[in-house]
Structure 1
Amino acid sequence: MKLRSSSLCLLLGFLLVFFVPASVARFVVEKNSLTVTSPAKIKGKHDSAIGNFGIPQYGGSLAGIVVYPKENRKGCADFGDSFKSKPGALPTILLLDRGNCFFALKVWNAQKAGASAVIVADDLEEPLITMDTPEEAAASAKYIENITIPSALVEKSFGEKLKNAISGGDMVNVNLDWREAVPHPDDRVEYELWTNSNDECGVKCDMLMDFLKDFKGAAQILEKGGYTQFTPHYITWYCPQAFTLSKQCKSQCINHGRYCAPDPEQDFSSGYDGKDVVVENLRQLCVFKVAKEAKKPWVWWDYVTDFQIRCPMKEKKYNKECAEAVIRSHGLDIKKIENCMGNPDADTDNPVLKEEQDAQIGKGSRGDVTILPTLVVNNRQYRGKLEKVAVLKAICSGFEETTEPAVCLSNDLETNECLDNNGGCWQDKGANITACKDTFRGRVCECPLVDGVQFKGDGYTVCEASGPGRCKINNGGCWHETRNGRSFSACVDDGGVKCQCPAGFKGDGVKNCEDIDECNEKKACQCPECRCKDTWGSYECTCSGDLLYIRDHDTCISKTASQGRSPWAAFWVILIGLAMAAGGGYLVYKYRIRSYMDSEIRAIMAQYMPLDSQGEVQSHVNAERA
């Protein structure tokens, strides 16, 4: 059976032909991998198209055994409970043929019978398509909302291989893998929701409104913590130029046919018009923009959930007055929101809605948005039930491993694998350090970073502290002990951690360090007057009588000799000594100079007159006359 969509989606798909050029428009089928692990003759990896209902296991995988029923092979009738797995057995993945009934009904019948997943084999040789829900009807709505198992469509040729292997008696084991269905490049997820303010479009609108209320808390936690970047979007189309003056376009469009939405009641003569929906969609976009400018983008969730409660169409409150009352209750600037909305009667482009129309066109890995509502996570369209746990799984699978916030590790999503035998990873029970990290995709054995110290190793059997500060973490794996308030450690960090018993101990430094008895080993307190007492890690030495022990010299000195001496006394003694030395030196110097000068003068004067201490000296004249 061909792809079936709601009447709203078909209408949008038809009208979008006017908006999106044929050369650009494309619908991307979101895929997950299906790997056959046995038998060997068909072993290999294949693509499968994720169904747009149920709960795909984003971020995870499912291994099971493929069963092809002998009867009711298209799954259009009730199976009973014939496919429930027995305890200890692999989950059952039911293989069904396409045709005769809606895709969702096949999966619902399989789920009731106990299947864990469904593979639908195409009946045409064609590229993969997306299995969607049928047109809205009370009968289908009852089971669509309750489908919780994942489903996938495979190509006809591959489906035939699976059937032939099972018919030939082989046990076919496969692994459905959604771990790469959403890219997870970093520690922030960017996601967007293509939605609508119309609350009277049937079951899908009801599911959307319920989702907004249920998911608000988780969305705001993620946004406030900086873990995600969320953006709401709204689909509009434009009215062809030839029909802008028609009654239909005037009632469904604003800005002279540029931005349109379907009439809520599909009755142009009564109730609300499509242009009322466009105006409220525009208002909700501007609420987000103004809240984002105020650095509170999460207020959008408060506004849209409150608006649907306080201003529903069925109570005739879907209007500007009610909307502005909600805006005021959340402290947003109404004037800024009005300026953002602009004039809906102007014959010009509205920048906000023009940007929305441009964004509908697929870019990169993301295809065109043609189904409402649509969730896009890290530029990949989400497929599956719009429900809190299912969507949270998809968003959480978009985080890089080990960077998921706590909301992704709640009991609603998964169990903590590190609680059971530490996940099989390395741990140091004494220091309460483990290499086990619980992630959305399961446990990871990765050596931890503790107090700025990085542990290195395989994470399974070995993790050793590395880098500066290693002695802070469990004493670097060395011996340490505390007694009576005193602690000693053998860890020495001098560029490479080593275990060396501290002074006062001996041993290997790793498992033990024993106290050295310095008294018995004659290593201290050896002076004759000393008395030695051993302590843990050290010793105490005292001296007899009036003596004082000097530890650095291992000797005893008199207390009286050491008492009353002031450093200033020594200073003055030295200073006076230096002064006396200087004075004596000066006197000696002066005496020697004076003696020298006296002897010189006396020698000179002696040549001209006798001195009292000398005898008479004959003159030269008398000597010559003799």
Structure 2
Amino acid sequence: MEVWRWLVSLYVGFMLLAVSMGKFVVEKNSLKVVSPDKVAGTYDSSIGNFGIPQYGGSMSGNIVFPKDNNKGCKEFDQSFKSHPGALPTILLLDRGSCFFALKVWNAQKAGASAVLVADDIEEPLITMDSPEEEESIAKYVENITIPSALIEKSFGGKLKGAVNDREMVIVNLDWREAVPHPDDRVEYELWTNSNDECGVKCDMLMEFLREFKGAAQILEKGGYTQFTPNYITWYCPQAFKQSKQCKSQCINHGRYCAPDPEQDFSTGYDGKDVVIENLRQLCVFITVKAAKKPWVWWDYVTDFQIRCPMKEKKYNKECANAVIKSLGIDVRQVDECMGDPDADTENPVLKEEQQNQIGKGSRGDVTILPTLVVNNRQYRGKLEKGAVLKAICAGFKDTTEPAVCLSTDMETNECLNDHGGCWHDKAANVTACRDTFRGRVCECPLVDGVQFRGDGYTKCEAIGLGRCMINHGGCWHDARNGHAFSACSDNERDKCQCPPGFKGDGFKNCEDIDECKEKKACQCPQCSCKNTWGSYDCSCSGDLLYIKDHDTCISKAASQGRSTWAALWLILIGIAMIAGGAYLVYKYRIRQYMDSEIRAIMAQYMPLDSQGEVPNHVSDQRA
């Protein structure tokens, strides 16, 4: 009885904290009825907190309301699996008599692709949550993969009425705006817990942290996301602060509390042990974030799970510090961040966490553990790697998703099926279809530095330099008998102009010009013209030779004679130039020698004014 009173008081403490300032927000997706016309329109539906909602996507389906077992609390004895080529089946069920999750599980086993649950009272929409942890229940909750949503009673009545009238009821479930996507970076936070002895939910959380670690670190290292871990704590009501239970489950004199891991105050670890480790994990994140390595937090929490589990009695400070040191984190900085858990003062880190639990703006209170928040919107659904990554990827602005969001594990490439209906050039293997997380877009591409321009749907043309390298820039081209011609020219930029010897629009056709027929060549009397593809050949009758530059025929003998005389004249001119050059050199050298001798003789008999006496040339030779 005392334990029960303690748990109730702890819960009341949390509720007082939550409702004092915030509110719980029901996360919704859009539901559009396509037919029949009497029901057509857009309606709200609240996303179930289990299964895998198709964040970033949509699903069209045919509504089926079963005649029997319309609450879905028993297994169905019929199949709702759609036939090939038909729309998926969206099963409509009534609320009541059993857990929401059990209804969806039975529908999934019967082949339904999604489930809508019609409320049984007129009230604002609520969130369908998974039931409390029980081994038998956990097995099917964990295996639910189809999306589900709750709809209002009045809307459910309209759908059932149309189905009963044997009308085809087609609806579209749309999750594309369920997560805001304003820019090319996603901010997300995970409200988690270090407790590994709380049952099925803790096991699922620990498994998720291990599986999602790789993708989270890739996104964080690439600067695509900004991640923040958070931890829920409660406070002990004033009346219980001096109680044994409060002292064992809280730190800082009842300010920050957590439930007993084993729900047994007499054995095992206490709630305060969980609060202290939660605080340590927060301080690890603060420390590594300051070192600009926030992704190391994922290494710490996953390593701590493996090396320091409660079951092996290693859930303590010594084991935690060993993990911290192995990752190169400064233990001293972490300890300083944590402060004194026995002090009768506020802990700034945990105080901020309690304030963060309160809903702000469009985000409601965080009351469910674990909870993922993406771009300030709470995630609903199974905490599983693929589902969570899909929700995070839905938070990127269109066409800015990183490669990890476009992997085959995440989505189907819509460009593979007839290029998504976009423009494509089969010959050049170029398409305007580009696959994104929310579907394909038709945009003229940039290929090997060459930009295409057009509407992307019916037309794309290569523009600028290099365009002729890609399918001849969309211009006409053809090849015959080893000769190839193209109407594309880089110098003409965006134009297509038939090459010399052809005429046409340059885009779809260029026809050979018959120069012979149009009398553009071979007009001399002795000429004979033969048209070829893209050009022509001229020949002369008899012993004559055709000179193309002058469009005339001359005698081959005259041509040869002229060539011989030309060669002879060239030889003679060359000899004459060599002889003239040699003569000039000879004259220059002789003149220099004569000047030198004359100056020497005159210097002996008549010294120059500009120089002194010159030694006797003969006496110099005798010495």
TM-score category (smaller protein) = 0.7 to 0.9
- How far apart, in 2, do the equivalents of 1:450 and 1:255 lie? 63
Deviation at 1:491, TM superposition (A): 4.0
Q: Is the 8 A contact 1:18 1:238 kept in 2?
A: no
- How far apart, in 1, do the equivalents of 2:565 and 2:391 lie? 84
Q: Is the 8 A contact 2:196 2:309 kept in 1?
A: yes
Alignment of 1:163-562 (within 5 A): 163-466=160-463, 470=467, 473-478=470-475, 491-492=488-489, 497-500=494-497, 507=503, 510=507, 524=549, 544=563, 558=570
Instruction: Give 1:371's aligned amino acid.
Output: I
> Could you list the per-position Cα deviations for residues 30-75 of structure 1 after superposition, in whole angstroms to 9, with x for gaps in the alignment?
0011111111111111000000001111122222221222222221
Query: TM (normalized to structure 2)?
Result: 0.79
Q: Which residue of 2 aligns with 1:15?
A: 13
Structure 1 residues 526 and 327: CA distance shift in structure 2, 3 A:
farther
Give the RMSD, CA atoms, in angstroms. 3.6
- How far apart, in 2, do the equivalents of 1:53 and 1:449 lie? 42
SS of 2:50's equivalent in the other structure is coil
With 504-513 and 447-456 compared, the bigger mean Cα shift is at 504-513
Q: Is the 8 A contact 1:18 1:240 kept in 2?
A: no
Q: Is the 8 A contact 2:241 2:254 kept in 1?
A: yes
Q: Is the 8 A contact 2:10 2:237 kept in 1?
A: no
- How far apart, in 2, do the equivalents of 1:500 and 1:314 lie? 80
Structure 1 residues 253 and 478: CA distance shift in structure 2, 3 A:
same
Match of 2:106 among 104, 109, 119: 109
Q: Is the 8 A contact 1:519 1:525 kept in 2?
A: no
Deviation at 1:108, TM superposition (A): 1.0
Deviation at 1:132, TM superposition (A): 0.3
SS of 1:41's equivalent in the other structure is coil
Deviation at 1:201, TM superposition (A): 0.7
With 252-261 and 467-476 compared, the bigger mean Cα shift is at 467-476
Report how many aligned residue pairs link the two structures.
544
Instruction: Give 1:78's aligned amino acid.
Output: E
SS of 1:145's equivalent in the other structure is helix
Q: Which residue of 2 aligns with 1:122?
A: 119
Instruction: Give 1:207's aligned amino acid.
Output: M
Q: Which residue of 1 aligns with 2:602?
A: none
- How far apart, in 1, do the equivalents of 2:563 and 2:368 lie? 99
- How far apart, in 2, do the equivalents of 1:324 and 1:109 lie? 47
Structure 1 residues 450 and 15: CA distance shift in structure 2, 3 A:
farther
Identity fraction in percent: 72
> Could you list the per-position Cα deviations for residues 134-169 of structure 1 after superposition, in whole angstroms to 9, with x for gaps in the alignment?
111112111111111111101111111112222233
- How far apart, in 1, do the equivalents of 2:331 and 2:572 lie? 90
SS of 2:146's equivalent in the other structure is coil
- How far apart, in 2, do the equivalents of 1:193 and 1:463 lie? 45
With 198-207 and 219-228 compared, the bigger mean Cα shift is at 219-228
Deviation at 1:127, TM superposition (A): 0.3
- How far apart, in 2, do the equivalents of 1:131 and 1:172 lie? 24
Instruction: Give 1:224's aligned amino acid.
Output: K
Deviation at 1:26, TM superposition (A): 0.6
Instruction: Give 2:184's aligned amino acid.
Output: D
With 293-302 and 49-58 compared, the bigger mean Cα shift is at 293-302
Deviation at 1:11, TM superposition (A): 8.4
Structure 1 residues 43 and 253: CA distance shift in structure 2, 3 A:
same
Structure 1 residues 400 and 12: CA distance shift in structure 2, 3 A:
farther
- How far apart, in 2, do the equivalents of 1:9 and 1:67 lie? 44
Structure 1 residues 104 and 562: CA distance shift in structure 2, 3 A:
farther
Q: Which residue of 1 aligns with 2:589?
A: none
Q: Does residue 145 of structure 2 align to residue 148 of structure 1?
A: yes
Deviation at 1:267, TM superposition (A): 2.3
Deviation at 1:245, TM superposition (A): 2.6
Q: Is the 8 A contact 2:208 2:384 kept in 1?
A: yes
- How far apart, in 2, do the equivalents of 1:473 and 1:562 lie? 53
Unaligned runs of 5+ in 2: 1-5, 513-532, 540-545, 557-561, 585-623
Q: Which residue of 2 aligns with 1:26?
A: 23
> Could you list the per-position Cα deviations for residues 568-594 of structure 1 after superposition, in whole angstroms to 9, with x for gaps in the alignment?
x9xx9xxxxxxxxxxxxxxxxxxxxxx
- How far apart, in 2, do the equivalents of 1:356 and 1:530 lie? 105
Q: Is the 8 A contact 1:530 1:544 kept in 2?
A: no
Instruction: Give 1:282's aligned amino acid.
Output: L
Unaligned runs of 5+ in 1: 1-7, 532-542, 549-555, 573-626
Structure 1 residues 479 and 494: CA distance shift in structure 2, 3 A:
same
Deviation at 1:417, TM superposition (A): 2.4
Structure 1 residues 492 and 129: CA distance shift in structure 2, 3 A:
same
- How far apart, in 2, do the equivalents of 1:370 and 1:240 lie? 18
> Could you list the per-position Cα deviations for residues 509-566 of structure 1 after superposition, in whole angstroms to 9, with x for gaps in the alignment?
55569765698896648899999xxxxxxxxxxx945969xxxxxxx99588689999
Q: Is the 8 A contact 1:39 1:173 kept in 2?
A: yes
Instruction: Give 1:370's aligned amino acid.
Output: T
- How far apart, in 1, do the equivalents of 2:241 and 2:572 lie? 116
> Could you list the per-position Cα deviations for residues 176-203 of structure 1 after superposition, in whole angstroms to 9, with x for gaps in the alignment?
1111111222222221111101111111
SS of 2:30's equivalent in the other structure is strand
> Could you list the per-position Cα deviations for residues 100-155 of structure 1 after superposition, in whole angstroms to 9, with x for gaps in the alignment?
11111111111112211111111111100000011111121111111111111011
SS of 2:319's equivalent in the other structure is helix
Structure 1 residues 547 and 358: CA distance shift in structure 2, 3 A:
farther
Instruction: Give 2:18's aligned amino acid.
Output: V
SS of 2:412's equivalent in the other structure is coil
Match of 2:60 among 45, 58, 63: 63
Alignment of 1:39-78 (within 5 A): 39-78=36-75
Match of 1:132 among 114, 117, 129: 129
Instruction: Give 1:39's aligned amino acid.
Output: P
SS of 1:283's equivalent in the other structure is helix
Instruction: Give 1:237's aligned amino acid.
Output: W
- How far apart, in 2, do the equivalents of 1:547 and 1:285 lie? 98
- How far apart, in 2, do the equivalents of 1:12 and 1:522 lie? 109
- How far apart, in 2, do the equivalents of 1:460 and 1:326 lie? 56
SS of 1:47's equivalent in the other structure is strand
Q: Is the 8 A contact 1:471 1:497 kept in 2?
A: no
Match of 1:160 among 149, 157, 161: 157
Query: TM (normalized to structure 1)?
Result: 0.78
- How far apart, in 1, do the equivalents of 2:248 and 2:7 lie? 20
Structure 1 residues 86 and 472: CA distance shift in structure 2, 3 A:
closer
- How far apart, in 1, do the equivalents of 2:571 and 2:142 lie? 95
- How far apart, in 2, do the equivalents of 1:428 and 1:111 lie? 43
SS of 1:278's equivalent in the other structure is helix
Deviation at 1:505, TM superposition (A): 6.5
- How far apart, in 2, do the equivalents of 1:529 and 1:288 lie? 95
Instruction: Give 1:432's aligned amino acid.
Output: N
